Amino acid sequence: MALNATITAIGTYIPEKVLTNQDLEKMVDTNNEWIRTRTGIQERRIASNGQATSHMSVDAIKEMLDEYDVDPETIDTIIVSTVTPDMFFPSTACLIQEGIGATNAWGFDLSAACSGFVFGLETATQFIQSGRSKRILLVGADTMSSITNYEDRNTCILFGDGAGVVLVEPTENSEYGILDSLVYCDGSGADYLNMPAGGSLNPATHETVEQGMHYLYQDGRTVFKFAVNGMANVSVEILERNNLTGDDVDFFIPHQANKRIIDAAAKKMNLAPEKVVINIDKYANTTAATIPLGLHEIVKSGQLNQGDLIVFATFGAGFTWGATLLRWGQ
């Protein structure tokens, strides 16, 4: 029997430290009004010194394992979507495996920036469908503060830190779980959103550090144009190819890069505003963590019910973009 993959558990972690727009006004030439109206962000969370992506992830996973009573030794696969791994190697998946005692799991990191969670879900789904994995831990986590230049007003207002994790397992009920997924990339967008140094192209030197090449770079205006179209189009495409309309969708959980990009996608899908999950105001852009953070909020608040239809959509560096169609339940 064909197996569907479904999400059976979720956990999240956000750091305690809050960095508000007013705090940023004291650091760079910006103002609360500009940030709020141009992005929808009011505050973001920042990891403490020494707190890395694996640490936030382990906290999120432990919360999930406790709440859903899952034994870490039953996990067979760990996928970590992140662009801010603790180190280039070993993978953050290995560090997490050790941190939670998942002694029977293999794992790896996946680099797709803001699309990491959607790409990770597509990957996890295929492992489940092939029968090779039965219990996958999919982490979307980023410590964006570690690659953000807090002297650059173009980027430092946009990002925050956080981690989310879901358990992906098979279900024999073909009406539930991941029903469809679309994933795309277009490397001609690489110049507009990247971290120029620290890899094999520009290894670390005094010069790369002095020139700020280890920080995230973004041509915001260009990325905005591609993101508005990319996220809206992929959201509509996944509905249309499943003969659905916005009326059929119970929740739209988009990547949280800019409230204006989210609004444009929701409009193109003809969605009622209460179906759109938004937390960019509290957490800003946490890259691979935005979608699990949004999902966990509607799980915790009791809004999400068995059988609800959810669309995830994203757009990010690469460029990468995609969408997932999910019926909640198993």
User: Which of these, 67, 72, 23, lies nearest to 45 by C-alpha position?
Assistant: 23
185 and 318 Cβ atoms separated by less than 8 Å: yes
Query: Shortest Cβ contact with ligand UT7: which residue?
Result: 220
Q: What DSSP designation does 165 have?
A: E
310 and 250 Cβ atoms separated by less than 8 Å: yes
List the interface residues with ligand UT7, window 155-174 (CB under 6 A).
157-158
Q: Does 25 bind ligand UT7 (CB under 6 A)?
A: no
106 residue type, one letter: W
C-alpha torsion sign, points 288, 35, 268, 304: positive
- Residue 327 Cβ, how far from ligand UT7 at the closest point, in Å? 27
Pick one of 96, 223, 249, 288: the residue that binds ligand UT7 (CB under 6 A).
223
Pick one of 130, 221, 243, 273: the residue that binds ligand UT7 (CB under 6 A).
221
List the interface residues with ligand UT7, window 267-326 (CB under 6 A).
285, 315-316
Q: Does 227 bind ligand UT7 (CB under 6 A)?
A: yes
Pick one of 19, 257, 271, 295: the residue that binds ligand UT7 (CB under 6 A).
257
Pick one of 13, 117, 217, 224: the residue that binds ligand UT7 (CB under 6 A).
224
Cα–Cα dist 276/40, whole Å? 14
Cα–Cα dist 240/236, whole Å? 6
Cα–Cα dist 155/153, whole Å? 5
37 residue type, one letter: T
- Residue 197 Cβ, how far from ligand UT7 at the closest point, in Å? 19
255 is known as an active-site residue = yes
Q: Does 258 bind ligand UT7 (CB under 6 A)?
A: yes
293 and 168 Cβ atoms separated by less than 8 Å: no
Cα–Cα dist 34/40, whole Å? 9
Q: What separation in angstroms does the CA of 252 have from each of 292, 298, 308?
A: 12, 11, 11
Pick one of 95, 128, 238, 261: the residue that binds ligand UT7 (CB under 6 A).
261
Could you tell me how many residues of this chain bind ligand UT7 (CB under 6 A)?
Answer: 20
285 is known as an active-site residue = yes
Pick one of 52, 114, 141, 284: the residue that binds ligand UT7 (CB under 6 A).
114
**Which residues form the interface with ligand UT7 (CB under 6 A)?**
30, 34, 38-39, 114, 153-154, 157-158, 220-221, 223-224, 227, 257-258, 261, 285, 315-316
Enumerate the active-site residues.
114, 255, 285
